[in-house]
Amino acid sequence: MRGEENPYLLLTPGPLSTTRTVRSATLRELSTWDPDYHAICQSIRSRLVDIAVSDDRCRPDYTSVLMQGSGTFAIESTLGSVIPSDGRILIAANGAYGVRMAAIAERLGISCAVLSHPETERIDLDRIDAALTVDPSISHVGYVHCETTTGIVNDAASIGELVAAHGKCLIVDAMSSFGGIPFDMVEFGAQYAVSSANKCLQGVPGFAVVIAHRATLEQTEGSARSFSLDLRDQWRGFEEGHGKWRFTSPTHAILGFDQALDELAVETLAGRHQRYCENQQAVVRGMERLGFRTLLPAELQSPIITSFHCPCDEIFSFQTFFHLLKDRGFMIYPGKVSELSTFRIGSIGNIFPSDIDRLMTAIAAVREEMGFRT
């Protein structure tokens, strides 16, 4: 992987290391008015629904929208477009990205209740049940499926069943899980699921995706708080323009993503999930052999990214550790847990257990060079 094109392997929750064929696909140039380009966009939209809905009979009930920008743009587009002026959202947060959802709602003037959870615990179903029972004004519920703050994965099926029992609309931030962990809109009771091209779908940055229950989205006309981020108008543009975006689209990123979906179809979602699990397990085994401790117990851990406690040795400096690994061809992530000193190692993207073996050799060498104890 190292070289002028790829100076290091990205062991992060995205952007991540992509295949050469995905990167090569971005080198083409197409006009946003080209019908051939529109056909590619329509194909992408259809295939996203195929990934999100396993039952062929249910697929016509769902649709997808592509939105320029990072995943946060699509989260803001969804929150700002589908919750009416008299609506209220309950956000269950157990990490930084649930907190970000609440911050977006607040900035947009959306009535919002926040159920804050410890970052090392799954979302508590009983607390959601109680909140929905005592506050009938809540119309929507939102949460993050895989919180990359720690790497924890929440129980999507149980949350979806509970929210459906209360008759509320469910918005799932599936940013770091969609395409890497089996995700089913029907099973998980989600009316909206938001992800990004440059996560487990293994495309390049440039746009995000929203999978939506078609009838629910259709009913949101007039609710948008933004012109450019109006989710329903963006969707209508695709539908009526047969794949034409409302505004200038990231053509190169789309072409790379089209190739990335081809590669996912070959690997299969089950195969990619298995590879990510093998990567993550190799990370944990290797780090534990080197004396590092995971933040989460295995039963809460996703195969997306793993948090580790920083060594207590006063010699240890994360910045030095980070740069010495970067010099050896590996890019890891700093910690994001609010009250603990941690760092994170991702296990998604075009990486394999053999890459993890090389990483462990590099970490052992860096530990020796820095002289810290684990």
Q: Which class is domain 20-266?
A: alpha beta
pTM: 0.96
Adjacent-strand bridge partners of 330: 9
- Give the mean model confidence (pLDDT) for residues 208-225: 98
Examine the pLDDT at 342 and tell me if it is beyond 90: yes
C-alpha atoms less than 13 angstroms from C-alpha of 291 in its C-beta half-sphere: 11
Cβ-proximal residues to 229 (8 Å cutoff; 6+ apart), any chain: 67, 73, 76, 77, 80, 81
Q: Where are the domains of the chain?
A: 9-15+268-370, 20-266
Averaged pLDDT score across all residues of the chain? 96
Q: Are 320 and 313 in contact (CB under 8 A)?
A: no
Quote the CA–CA distance of 255 and 40 in Å, as a whole number.
8
Instruction: Give the burial class of 328: count Cβ atoms within 10 A of its Cβ; 0-12 exposed, 13-18 middle, 19 or more buried.
Output: middle
- pLDDT band for 339, please (50, 70, 90 cuts): confident
pLDDT, tens digit, 9 for 90 and up, residues 290-329: 999 999 999 999 999 999 999 999 999 999 999 999 999 9
pLDDT at 2: 61
Quote the CA–CA distance of 73 and 359 in Å, as a whole number.
33
pLDDT at 366: 98
DSSP string across 172-221: EE-TTTBTTB---TTTTT-SEEEEETTSTT---SSEEEEEEEHHHHHTTT
Q: What is the DSSP letter of 47?
A: H
Examine the pLDDT at 4 and tell me if it is beyond 90: no
pLDDT at 6: 81
CATH 3.40.50.1580 fits 9-15+268-370, yes or no: no
Instruction: Give the burial class of 105: count Cβ atoms within 10 A of its Cβ; 0-12 exposed, 13-18 middle, 19 or more buried.
Output: buried
pLDDT at 120: 96
Could you give the angle at which helices 251-267 and 35-52 cross, rounded to 10 degrees?
40
pLDDT at 182: 92
Q: Are 363 and 290 in contact (CB under 8 A)?
A: yes
Examine the pLDDT at 15 and tell me if it is beyond 70: yes
Examine the pLDDT at 222 and tell me if it is beyond 60: yes
Q: What is the DSSP letter of 255?
A: H
pLDDT at 91: 98
pLDDT at 89: 98
